[in-house]
């Protein structure tokens, strides 16, 4: 197969082809590296490519297969990892001049588990400095661009991962989400991003920011997400907030075809998804303004969930924007992480991040105590929705992708927003820790992706995946591919 054909195969498809020796891990890795070399100059999705190491690991994976060994369900499949997660022996900069030469000595649990499942790390993807904003650029590596239009942002902070997945530079990207950083770029890049329940995938190393942070994959298909979560989920003693539970046995009910930990395949009933479920659709969560074209695309998508046998009902929510509560935790933990570096290295920080840190430094202990109380009050509002409904649908973002070089989207008419407040549909569910996914709802008239967010009740990760799979069958998206340039926009 050609590199282009291999580039847009799913991880599940690649793993099956590798196991049955229709393609070798080396062939897959060479194809992936060839596409990265060809298209990354225009996108700047990858900031580090571990070509020699990846090819060496692919050769070992091939030798293992010849001996009849299979390392796991994703044997020989390429993986790329956001530049704020630990990868052993890898340059891990957090997109910061403060950490430009930093090399991490250990894998974080997520990388460790995906490697044990047979995946091979091909490189690191771009992130804004310390993941602080919903677009992707920094002073170390520059701007990451959207594969659908390189003048626009792919979102952030896992924008390098989403751009790589959308462009066929690897089927699974590992990222993080503290206020929408998996779902924002999934929406802007036309791919699938899923923030599992808080603690489902362990956080380590964990700073204070881990109170909001979820680690998770970005993929092109629901099947790939299901297999990755099967590997990733489960407690880790290094994360005291990680969830217990037998997640892989739950996952057998997901309507997909995947490889189990023993290398065998299981197929679940494709009709078991969301038939009979009651789904609420909110166009604004009670407080947000939305671009009219985005609103129309999301409403049409929500209504079509009835085609899967669900009962869909528009709801008028009376929620208040929890931005002030969320920002106490987000800004405060950023300040805690960087306060000691400000006197001697503060000038190296992204100016926008420096403003966020300065806001965090003004917070008092009583502000955190009040934010904790407000967080519980907000959850009480959210919880009531799930007394009547199984799922909540809403836009992932209020606007389509916007120009690179901006930290925030332009406010809609009549709005005055703080830093990151334009992501008004995503950060509420970091406060509550609920599972939430962004699926491609459609494309604008100008050909830009729009995301629909599927939000489950606490710990209802499985149902969110089933709903995403149902939508994938109603309106498939994986066949849509951006027209890619091979030249840097700055060339």
Catalytic residues: 82, 157, 181
Residue at token pair 């000038």: 347
Best CA proximity match to 177, nearest among 58, 353, 330: 330
**Distance between CA atoms of 247 and 232, rounded to whole angstroms?**
9
Contact (CB, 8 A) for 348 and 98: yes
**Distance between CA atoms of 83 and 315, rounded to whole angstroms?**
39
Report phi then psi at 64, rounded to 5.
Answer: -60, -45
**Distance between CA atoms of 408 and 412, rounded to whole angstroms?**
12
Report phi then psi at 219, rounded to 5.
Answer: -140, 175
Cα angle 48-115-26, degrees, rounded to a multiple of 5: 70
* Distant-in-sequence, close-in-space partners of 232: CB < 8 Å, separation ≥ 6: 110, 113, 114, 200, 201, 215, 216, 217
Contact (CB, 8 A) for 426 and 392: no
């Amino acid at each position: 197969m050609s590199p282009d054909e291999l580039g847009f195969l799913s991880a599940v498809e690649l793993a099956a082809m590798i196991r049955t020796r229709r393609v070798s891990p080396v062939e897959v890795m060479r194809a992936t590296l060839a596409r990265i070399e060809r298209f990354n100059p225009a996108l700047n999705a990858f900031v580090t490519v571990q070509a020699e190491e990846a090819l060496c690991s692919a050769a070992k994976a091939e030798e293992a297969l010849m001996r009849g060994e299979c390392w796991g369900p994703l044997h020989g499949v390429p993986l790329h990892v956001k530049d704020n997660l630990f990868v052993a022996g890898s340059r891990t900069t957090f997109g910061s001049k403060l950490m430009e030469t930093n090399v991490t000595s250990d894998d974080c649990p997520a990388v460790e588990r995906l490697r044990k499942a047979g995946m091979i790390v091909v490189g690191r993807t771009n992130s804004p400095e310390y993941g602080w904003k919903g677009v992707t650029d920094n002073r170390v590596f520059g701007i990451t661009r959207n594969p659908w239009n390189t003048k626009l942002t792919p979102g952030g902070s896992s924008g390098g991962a989403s751009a790589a997945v959308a462009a066929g530079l690897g089927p699974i990207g590992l990222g993080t989400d503290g206020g929408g950083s998996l779902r924002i770029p999934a929406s802007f890049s036309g791919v699938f991003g899923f923030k599992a329940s808080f603690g489902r995938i362990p956080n380590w190393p964990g700073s204070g920011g881990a109170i909001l942070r979820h680690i998770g994959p970005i993929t092109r298909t629901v099947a790939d997400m299901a297999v990755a979560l099967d590997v990733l989920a489960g407690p880790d003693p290094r994360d005291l907030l990680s969830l217990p539970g037998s997640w892989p046995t739950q996952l057998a009910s997901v309507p997909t075809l995947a490889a189990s930990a023993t290398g065998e395949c299981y197929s679940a009933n494709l009709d078991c998804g969301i038939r009979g479920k009651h789904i609420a659709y909110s166009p604004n969560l009670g407080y947000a303004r939305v671009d009219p074209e985005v609103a129309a695309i999301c409403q049409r998508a929500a209504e079509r969930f009835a085609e899967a046998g669900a009962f869909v009902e528009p709801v008028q929510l009376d929620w208040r924007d929890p931005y002030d509560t969320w920002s106490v935790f987000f800004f405060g933990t950023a300040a805690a992480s960087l306060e000691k570096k400000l006197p001697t290295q503060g000038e190296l920080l992204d100016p926008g991040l420096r403003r966020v840190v300065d806001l965090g430094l003004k917070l008092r202990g009583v502000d955190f105590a009040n934010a904790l109380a407000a967080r519980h009050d907000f959850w009480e509002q959210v919880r009531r929705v799930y007394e009547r409904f199984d799922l909540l649908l809403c836009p992932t973002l209020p606007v389509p992708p916007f120009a690179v070089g901006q930290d925030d989207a332009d406010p809609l008419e009549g709005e005055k927003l703080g830093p990151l407040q334009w992501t008004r549909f995503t950060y509420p569910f970091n406060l509550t820790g609920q599972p939430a996914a962004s699926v491609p709802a459609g494309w604008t008239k100008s050909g830009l992706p729009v995301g629909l967010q599927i939000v489950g009740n606490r710990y209802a990760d499985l149902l969110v995946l089933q709903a995403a799979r149902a939508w994938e069958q109603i309106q498939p998206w994986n066949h849509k591919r951006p027209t890619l340039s091979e030249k840097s926009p700055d060339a």
